[in-house]
C-alpha cells in the first residue's frame, strides 16, 4: 500500500479561462505534488498554485489523468463539483476535419499539437518562417540542440502537425521557399486567439479573488445523437397542436400522457419524470383498435430532441403504420432501414446474431438482432439505437420490434448520420447531464438505475 504523503491538491476550474484547470497545493510535502504536476506540463503561476492551460480544450481530461496519478502516489486530491462535471463530459469536435478518427485518436493528434505549441513557447522549437497555404497556416522550424531536427508544420492550434522532417535548417528553408515563396514571411505566425487565451491563463492571479458570475453558456452544435434531450413534454404538445388527428388525455395520477390517433390504430405514451435511462416513450401500432400490436417502439428519457422530433414528424406524415405481420424482415428491409448509415461511412460488422452499424467516432450505433427478428409474433426489441460509451452502457436508447416500418427506421438513421442539434455545456445551474464516459473512483458519480420497460 502506498504511504500517504502530507500533500493536498485541490483542483478547480480556472477563474477566468473556461477550460483551464488550476491546482492549489497545501501540506508540508506539497513540493512532491508540485514536481509531479510540473512533469505533467502544468505551469507554476504563484506560490503553490499551478495551471493547466492547453490549446485543445482537453484540460479536464488531462486533469483527471493527473489526479489519478497523484492519488496512486498517496497524495490527497479534491475536485470541485464544477470540474468533476467537466471531467465527466466527453466533448466532441463539431465538423472535425478527420471524421474517420476515433475519439482517442483525435485526442492523440491534439496532444501532439500541444507538444509542438509547448516546444515553441518554451524556446525549444525555433520557427524560421511561416506562410499561408490557402486557408491553412504552414511553418518551418528547427528544434534546438546538437541533434535537433528541422520540421515542416501544417495547421493551427489542435490540428497542427509535423508534415515533413529535414536533416538541416537549410534544406528545410529551401523546400519551404520552393513551396510557399509568394506568401512566405520570416519568423512565427501571429498567435491565434486560442494560443493567446491559453498563454493568458498562465498569468499570475489571486486565487482568493471572487470569481465573476458566469453568463449562461452558449450551446454548441453537435451530432444529433449527442444533443440535449430538451423538453419532451413540449415536443409532444407541439406535435399534438400541429396534428389534430390525435386525441390527448392524461392519467388521473398525472404521470402519463396518451395520444391516440383518430383511427385508434396508433398510440403514443409518454411517462413524465423518468430517469435518463428509463423508458419514457412507447409508440405502438395496431391492425384494428382491438387487435394485438403489430409493432412497438420505445425511447428512453435522455433521447435527444432532434431524434425524437424526427420520430414524431414521421408519425405525423407517415402512412405505413400497418405493416403486415406476416411479412418477413428480410435483407432488403434491413438495408433500406440502414442505408443512410452506410452512405455516411458508419462501420458495419456482423457478430453472430448481431448486425451492427457504429458511428465514426464510436459514440453511437444501431444494432439489429437477426435471431429475434425470426419471432414476428412477439414484440421483442429487434432494433436498438444507442449513444454512449458502448451499446451495453448507453446514455440513451431507442428499441423497436421486428415489424417497425423500414421507412421510420430509415428516417431515424438519416437523422443520426447527418443531422445536428444543440448541447448546452453543463454548469452548476443547468443540472446534471448523463456523461458519455464513467468517472474515476476518486470522483464517483451517482449511477442511474437500470432501464425499465414501463409500457402500457
Averaged pLDDT, 275-288: 90
- Which pLDDT tens digit goes with each residue over 61-90? 999 999 999 988 889 999 998 888 888 776
| Cα–Cα dist 286/291, whole Å | 6
- Output the pLDDT for position 372: 85
Query: Other CB atoms closer than 10 Å to residue 11's CB: what's the count?
Result: 25
Q: What are phi and psi of 240, to 5 degrees?
A: -70, -35
Give domain status of residue 328, yes or no.
yes
414 CB-side CA count, 13 A: 12
Query: Quick one: what percent of the chain has pLDDT higher than 70?
Result: 84
- Cell of residue 36, nine digits: 509531479
The closest alpha carbon to 305, from 394, 421, 385, belongs to 421
CATH code of the domain containing 30: 3.30.70
Whether 213 is covered by a domain: the verdict is no
pLDDT confidence of residue 444: 31
Domain annotation covers residue 433: no
- How far is 73 from 92, CA to CA, in rounded Å? 31
User: What is the tens place of the pLDDT at every residue in 106-151?
Assistant: 888 888 999 999 889 888 999 999 999 988 999 999 998 777 899 9
Unique residue bearing C-alpha cell 490527497: 76
User: 377 and 354, same structural domain?
Assistant: yes
Residues 70 and 144 in one domain: no
Query: Is the distance from CB of 338 to CB of 356 less than 8 angstroms?
Result: no
Alpha helices in 294-424, H assignment, sequence order? 305-317, 331-343, 406-418
CB 54 within 8 A of CB 198: yes
Range of the domain at 80: 8-88
Based on the fold, state whether residues 280 and 418 are members of the same structural domain. yes
Do residues 159 and 206 make contact, with C-beta atoms less than 8 angstroms apart?
Answer: no
Contacts of 269 (CB under 8 A, 6+ apart): 256, 257, 258, 259, 281, 282, 283, 284, 455, 456
For residue 29, what is its C-alpha cell? 510535502
Q: Which residue has the higher pLDDT, 377 or 139?
A: 139
Residues 357, 328 share a domain: yes
Task: Copy the grid coordinates of residue 291.
Answer: 387487435
Range in 179-188, 229-238, 415-424, 425-434 with the lowest mean pLDDT? 425-434
* pLDDT-above-90 percentage for the chain: 41
Q: Is the pLDDT of residue 324 over 70?
A: no
pLDDT by residue (tens digit) across 297-318?
999 999 999 999 999 999 887 6
For range 350-359, the mean pLDDT: 92
Which pLDDT does position 102 carry in this prediction? 83
Query: What was the pLDDT predicted at 376?
Result: 61
Q: Please tell me whether residues 265 and 363 are part of one structural domain.
A: yes
The DSSP secondary structure of 149-165, one letter per residue, reads PEEEEESSGGG-EEEEE
Q: Are residues 230 and 277 in the same domain?
A: yes
Q: What pLDDT does residue 316 have?
A: 83
Number of domains in the chain: 3
- The tens digit of pLDDT for each residue in 396-450 reads 999 999 888 989 999 999 999 999 999 887 544 444 343 333 333 333 333 333 3
Q: What distance in Å separates the CA atoms of residue 96 and residue 105, rounded to the nearest whole number?
A: 12
- How many angstroms separate the Cα of 316 from the Cα of each of 231, 241, 266, 295, 432? 19, 11, 11, 17, 32
21-30, 155-164, 247-256: least confidently modelled range:
247-256
Q: Model confidence at 93, in pLDDT bands (50, 70, 90)? A: low
- Verify that 357 and 304 share a domain, yes or no: yes
Give the side-chain half-sphere CA count within 13 A for 28.
3
Whether residue 413 sits in one domain with residue 327: yes
The answer to whether 304 and 281 have CB atoms below 8 angstroms apart is: no
Contact in structure between 403 and 329 (CB atoms under 8 Å) = yes
Cell triple for 444: 464517483
Interatomic CA distance for residues 281 and 451, integer angstroms: 13
Question: Is the residue at 2 inside a domain?
Answer: no
The mean pLDDT of 225-250, rounded to a whole number, is 88
Give yes or no: residues 130 and 84 share one domain: no
For residue 199, the model assigns a pLDDT of 85
What mean pLDDT do residues 216-241 have?
88
For CA atoms 54, 60, 63, 69, give the dihedral sign: negative
Cα–Cα distance, 396 to 125 (Å, whole number): 46
Neighbours of 198 (CB within 10 A): 27
Does residue 438 fall inside a structural domain?
Answer: no
**Are 75 and 107 within one domain?**
no
Pull the grid cell for residue 270: 409518454
The C-alpha atoms of residue 381 and residue 384 are separated, in whole angstroms, by: 7
CA distance 97 to 378: 44
- Listed in sequence order, the DSSP H helices in 219-373 are 232-242, 305-317, 331-343
Cell numbers given for 450: 437500470
Amino acid at each position: 500500500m502506498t504511504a500517504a504523503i502530507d500533500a493536498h491538491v485541490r483542483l478547480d476550474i480556472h477563474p477566468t479561462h473556461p477550460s483551464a484547470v488550476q491546482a492549489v497545493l497545501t501540506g508540508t510535502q506539497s513540493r512532491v505534488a508540485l514536481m509531479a504536476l510540473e512533469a505533467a506540463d502544468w505551469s507554476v503561476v504563484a506560490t503553490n498554485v499551478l495551471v493547466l492551460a492547453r490549446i485543445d480544450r482537453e484540460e479536464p481530461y488531462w486533469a483527471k489523468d493527473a489526479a489519478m496519478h497523484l492519488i496512486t502516489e498517496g497524495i490527497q486530491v479534491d475536485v470541485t463539483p464544477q470540474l468533476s462535471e467537466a471531467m465527466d463530459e466527453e466533448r466532441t469536435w463539431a465538423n472535425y476535419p478527420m471524421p474517420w478518427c476515433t475519439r482517442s485518436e483525435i485526442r492523440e493528434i491534439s496532444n501532439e499539437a500541444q507538444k509542438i505549441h509547448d516546444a515553441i513557447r518554451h524556446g525549444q522549437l525555433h520557427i524560421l518562417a511561416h506562410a499561408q497555404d490557402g486557408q491553412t497556416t504552414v511553418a518551418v522550424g528547427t528544434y534546438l540542440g546538437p541533434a535537433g531536427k528541422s520540421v515542416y508544420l501544417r495547421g493551427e492550434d489542435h490540428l497542427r502537425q509535423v508534415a515533413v522532417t529535414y536533416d538541416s535548417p537549410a534544406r528545410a528553408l529551401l523546400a519551404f521557399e520552393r513551396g510557399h515563396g509568394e506568401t512566405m514571411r520570416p519568423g512565427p505566425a501571429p498567435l491565434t486567439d486560442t494560443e493567446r487565451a491559453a498563454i493568458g491563463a498562465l498569468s499570475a492571479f489571486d486565487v482568493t479573488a471572487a470569481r465573476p458570475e458566469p453568463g449562461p453558456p452558449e450551446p454548441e452544435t453537435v451530432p444529433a445523437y449527442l444533443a440535449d434531450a430538451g423538453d419532451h413534454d413540449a415536443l409532444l404538445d407541439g406535435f399534438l397542436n400541429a396534428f389534430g388527428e390525435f386525441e390527448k388525455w392524461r392519467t388521473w395520477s398525472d404521470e402519463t400522457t396518451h395520444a391516440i390517433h383518430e383511427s385508434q390504430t396508433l398510440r403514443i405514451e409518454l411517462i413524465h419524470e423518468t430517469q435518463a435511462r428509463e423508458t419514457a416513450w412507447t409508440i405502438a401500432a395496431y391492425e384494428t383498435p382491438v387487435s394485438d400490436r403489430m409493432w412497438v417502439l420505445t425511447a428512453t428519457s435522455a433521447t435527444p430532441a432532434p431524434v425524437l422530433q424526427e420520430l414524431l414528424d414521421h408519425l405525423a406524415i407517415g402512412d405505413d403504420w400497418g405493416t403486415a405481420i406476416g411479412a418477413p424482415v428480410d435483407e432488403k428491409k434491413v438495408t433500406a432501414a440502414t442505408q443512410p448509415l452506410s452512405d455516411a461511412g458508419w462501420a458495419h460488422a456482423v457478430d453472430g446474431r448481431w448486425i451492427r452499424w457504429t458511428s465514426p467516432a464510436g459514440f453511437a450505433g444501431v444494432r439489429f438482432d437477426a435471431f429475434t427478428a425470426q419471432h414476428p409474433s412477439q414484440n421483442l426489441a429487434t432494433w436498438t439505437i444507442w449513444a454512449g460509451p458502448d451499446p451495453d452502457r448507453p446514455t440513451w436508447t431507442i428499441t423497436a420490434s421486428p415489424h417497425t416500418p423500414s421507412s421510420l427506421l430509415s428516417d431515424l438513421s438519416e437523422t443520426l448520420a447527418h443531422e445536428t442539434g444543440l448541447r448546452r455545456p453543463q454548469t452548476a445551474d443547468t443540472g446534471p447531464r448523463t456523461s458519455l464516459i464513467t468517472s474515476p473512483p476518486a470522483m464517483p458519480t451517482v449511477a442511474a438505475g437500470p432501464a425499465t420497460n414501463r409500457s402500457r
